[in-house]
Amino acid sequence: MARAAGRLVGRLMPKAKRAAKDWSPAAEHSRQFVKHVVPAAIKPVHALWHEILGFVFLAFAGLGAYRIWRRQDQMPPMQMAIVLVFVIVMAGYGIASVMKARKISRS
């Protein structure tokens, strides 16, 4: 069994080396294509990701602000403080994310 496998590998190895040499220019062109095209395609996706995250954070901040506005008389002071901190943090992350998206899209 091992002898037959050795003969098979001995016959196929020169063909495999020749095939590798034949495909080498195509592989090089593919590598150059990916090197130049992928960064240009990822940049808008990266900016879009930050825009979506910014929207989500700002939406959370808006929901918290709406809760404060609608129930400010019914909320205990500690809950009001927690929701206010939540709104400030979410708004900060949302604004920072949108600004980062603008910076990415301009570069």
The predicted structure's pLDDT at residue 13: 67
The predicted structure's pLDDT at residue 63: 96
Predicted TM-score (pTM) of the model is 0.66
The DSSP line for 69-90 is HHSTTTS-HHHHHHHHHHHHHH
- The answer to whether 50 and 100 are in contact (CB under 8 A) is yes
Does 16 or 73 have the greater pLDDT score? Answer: 73
Q: What residue ranges do the domains of the chain occupy?
A: 2-106
Q: Is 14's pLDDT higher than 80? A: no
Average pLDDT rounded to a whole number, residues 92-96: 97
d(CA 8, CA 74): 83
Mean of all residue pLDDT scores within the chain = 86
Convert the pLDDT of each residue in 40-88 to its tens digit.
888 999 999 999 999 999 999 999 999 999 988 898 999 999 999 999 9
Residues sharing a CB contact under 8 Å with residue 80, sequence separation 6 or more, in sequence order: 68, 72
